[in-house]
Amino acid sequence: MPEGPEIRRAADKLEKAIKGKTLTEVWFAFPALKNYEASLLGEQVDAIETRGKAILTHFSNGLTLYSHNQLYGVWRVIKSGKQPESNRILRVKLAAADNTILLYSASDIDMLDRDALAAHPFLLRVGPDVLDMSLTVEQVAERLLSPRFRRRQFSGLLLDQAFLAGLGNYLRVEILWQAGLAAQHRAMDLTPEQVEQLAGALLRIPRLSYQTRGRVNDKKHHGALFSFRVFHRQGKPCERCGGIIEKTTLSSRPFYWCPGCQK
């Protein structure tokens, strides 16, 4: 499943294609959404927001399309008037004069007004988004040490969207390596310095992945590009201590770590 940085980059592409443009065609596959097709014609997409792995498409009439890709959903951008070939099932079509955005295969889709948006169960459940640039290291450290999360092992905590939205398995692996911590550690057992280091990595690693991943030839970011240090590197030497990276399964997901420096 894509993690927060991949979802945000997908939303960026959608925004670039259709934000601020008048909708000339609106189509929904689900009968419960059909009534909204006519009311959205002539409106605009004001913004496309992400909350963890959910995408919120905000329209100029105050409505918001909520969608969660889950395992199989995917958004596509095409030129309007084109008919792309796909084996996927089309769920949503939003077209402007030049570009069209299409949502395939997703099943978790809803149209929300402002009150419903504020009361949506998933959005109420998720924690602060790691790609929200207003979120600070101090706030994350406070969240780590809160009664709700301080006793949780990091193996499960860093996959829990209620803790921080947008984290996922590769980010869990890379964050713990950067902080020099093991999956069995808990915030309550750390020194203040370790808490601060982990809180910093919880924001720095996802943001670096979002900003630079896929741009490996961009010299402007040379030396600051996101790259896997332990994820999918079992059997290879650790860049930090020279130990051999190992692989196991934690919380039903593959987990990679260096026993030499993540004790």
Beta carbons within 8 Å of 115's beta carbon, 6+ residues apart: none
Alpha carbons within 13 angstroms on the beta-carbon side of residue 234 total: 8
Residue 222 confidence (pLDDT) above 50: no
In the prediction, which pLDDT does 201 show? Answer: 97
Rounded to 5 degrees, what are φ and ψ at 76? -135, 150
Quote the pLDDT of residue 220.
Answer: 47
**pLDDT tens digits, one per residue of 74-84:** 999 999 998 88
Distance CA 249, CA 257 (A): 11
- CATH code for the domain defined by 4-125: 3.20.190.10
Domain extents in the chain: 4-125, 137-257
pLDDT band (50, 70, 90) for residue 148: very high
Q: What is the pLDDT at residue 1?
A: 65
The arithmetic mean of pLDDT across residues 123-146, rounded, is 96
- Position 156, amino acid: G
Residue 38: pLDDT above 50? yes
d(CA 208, CA 142): 22
237 pLDDT more than 80: yes
| 42-64: b (≥16 Cβ within 10 Å) or e | ebbbbebebbbbbbbbbbeeebb
Residue 225 has pLDDT above 80, yes or no: no
Is there a catalytic annotation at residue 253? yes
The total number of residues shown for the chain amounts to 263
Query: What's residue 218's pLDDT?
Result: 44
Residue type, 213: R
- Band of the pLDDT at 112, cuts 50, 70, 90? very high
53 part of the active site = yes
Say if CB 212 and CB 225 are below 8 A apart.
Answer: yes
Active site residue 2: yes
For the cut 50, the answer to whether the pLDDT of residue 186 exceeds it is: yes
Give yes or no for residue 223 having a pLDDT over 50.
no
Residue 31 falls in the annotated catalytic set: no
Cα separation, 79 vs 32, whole angstroms: 27
* Highest CATH level, class, for 137-257: mainly alpha
- Cα–Cα distance for residue pair 169/150, rounded to 1 Å: 20
The lowest-confidence range among 50-59, 182-191, 207-216 is: 207-216
Mean pLDDT of 131-136: 96
Give strand pairing partners of 254.
249
224 falls in which pLDDT band (50, 70, 90)? low
Percentage of the chain exceeding pLDDT 70: 95
- Catalytic residue selected from 8, 51, 53, 143: 53
Contact 207, 166 (CB under 8 A): no
